[in-house]
Amino acid sequence: MGIISNFISSLRSRVVYISSASARSRQTPIGLEQQASCRSILDCNSAHVAMAQVLHVVKDDQDRVRAVNRKSPYTRLFERPNPMMSRYDFLYALTWQLQLKNTALAWVEWEGVTPKNIWPIAYRSFEFLELADGGYAVQFTDTDGAQRLLHLEDVVILRRHYDGSGVAGLDNRAADPILDLVNDLDAGLADAVTFSNRIHGILKQRKAMLASSDVEASQKAFRGRMEQAAKTGGGIITLDATEDYTPLSANTWTANAAQLKNVSDRLNAYWRTPPDVVSGTASEQTMQNYYDGIVDPIWEAMGQAFTAALFTAREYGHGNRIMVVGTAAAGASWATRLSIINDSKEMGLLTVNEQRALLNYPPVEDGDVRLISLNYVKSGDQSKYQLGKDTKDEPNTGKEPEQNAIPAE
């Protein structure tokens, strides 16, 4: 963060005031990412989002992509966001922070008018400040406790659970009761396992023992006989007429299966992540629903946030956008991918390399061409195609040309 520190001095004297409490970040629950189940869910979602591509595109007035600029400095920015991170690392870190704190920040470092690096901001807290000459800055406290200051227009802001009442998303305190249940179950299970490993049985003695020292001595003697039997006695313990030993078989589960599943389902429901997606056993339909409901909205939010931070209003007006898109048919099965290729190949919807991308194969030279079947023509060109008759001189009646009847065999 040394670069940020050098930049701060130019802003410090221009800060006027802290606008309000709503201009500050919200408190992050302690220990959220330390819980094993939560960490698995955070990792799952971050890993799926991080598989995306980030592209500079140009859209027309109908919001359709008319050009993809893969050689643009904006596209190259996300191929290597900064000297310390790959694209995957950057998107993973941003998604992790978005889920953990419900507000994720990244700083765009400029070299003149060209973006040089983009850094995720690891913060403890942040607040928005107004500058004396207009505009705003973001002041944040980093993980080392140092305060940093950045121009707001150079900061990418992503929000989750955002109600519009401030500058940050809501906190995750709604998950505290679920986490308390999970922690209690984990602690109870650990205690039960410890008990079952240390308490093996109950020894009853029919002879009268008034002193506690007599009870302890008898217990110690019996334990010695058990150890001796395990070592040299063939595992057989002899008892006299005054002793009665009952082995204990402690149940290590402190809650039944239905209760455990209920708690687990509540945790997965809070993160909106099905358990079979986390475990990697989800069906194709479940994966499609997961991408539609969780991953795609994050990609859309990232694209809009990157666009706002990287392009001026004039550049935006000319159609410049940043799009975050997934790999081809993400979440689809091999059968579905092959079906897409077979069903679309005659219409030329996909290039050779796009078909190979569906199968996770690398592109080939001259593969960016579309192959199309000659069995399909425009409806108005049927006569010319079938009979060699040019219909361009015929009057336009607004109706489709009549087709020759095909006799039944």
Q: Measure CA of the first residue to CA of the last residue in the chain; give whole Å.
A: 80
More confident residue, 348 or 226: 348
pLDDT for 111 equals: 94
The alpha carbon dihedral of 143, 145, 146, 151 has a sign of: positive
Structure confidence at residue 396 as a pLDDT band (50, 70, 90): low
Q: Rounded to two decimals, what is the model's pTM? A: 0.73
pLDDT for 239 equals: 65
pLDDT for 408 equals: 41
Arithmetic mean of pLDDT, 119-131: 91
pLDDT for 389 equals: 62
For residue 266, CA distances in Å to 1, 177, 178, 188, 190 come to: 39, 10, 7, 19, 22
What are 284-304's pLDDT values in tens digits? Answer: 899 999 999 999 999 999 999
What are 214-243's pLDDT values in tens digits? Answer: 777 777 777 777 777 666 756 666 666 666
Across the chain, mean pLDDT equals 80
pLDDT for 406 equals: 40
Closest listed residue to residue 4, CA positions, set 158, 112, 159, 154: 154
pLDDT for 404 equals: 43
More confident residue, 406 or 40: 40
Is residue 368 a contact partner of residue 352, using CB atoms and an 8 Å limit? yes
Instruction: Choose from 245-259, 285-299, 328-342 the range with maximum mean pLDDT.
Output: 285-299
Structure confidence at residue 93 as a pLDDT band (50, 70, 90): very high
pLDDT for 305 equals: 96
pLDDT for 366 equals: 80
Quickly tell me which residue has 């410890």 as its tokens: 194
What are 10-67's pLDDT values in tens digits? Answer: 444 454 444 555 677 877 766 777 888 889 999 999 999 999 999 999 999 999 999 9
Question: In this predicted structure, which of 164-173, 216-225, 313-322 has the lowest mean pLDDT?
Answer: 216-225
> How do the domains of the chain map onto residue ranges?
2-34+44-50+79-172, 178-257
Structure confidence at residue 349 as a pLDDT band (50, 70, 90): confident
pLDDT for 165 equals: 86
- Alpha-carbon distance of 184 to 187, in angstroms, equals 5
Task: Tell me: pLDDT of 325 over 70.
Answer: yes
SS3 312: coil
Is residue 35 a contact partner of residue 181, using CB atoms and an 8 Å limit? no
pLDDT for 407 equals: 43
Q: Side chain identity at 409, as an amino acid letter?
A: E
Quickly tell me which residue has 């050098």 as its tokens: 6
Q: Side chain identity at 344, as an amino acid letter?
A: S
More confident residue, 112 or 361: 112
More confident residue, 386 or 50: 50
Structure confidence at residue 191 as a pLDDT band (50, 70, 90): low
Task: Tell me: pLDDT of 323 over 50.
Answer: yes
Arithmetic mean of pLDDT, 359-383: 73
Structure confidence at residue 409 as a pLDDT band (50, 70, 90): very low
- Alpha-carbon distance of 150 to 269, in angstroms, equals 36
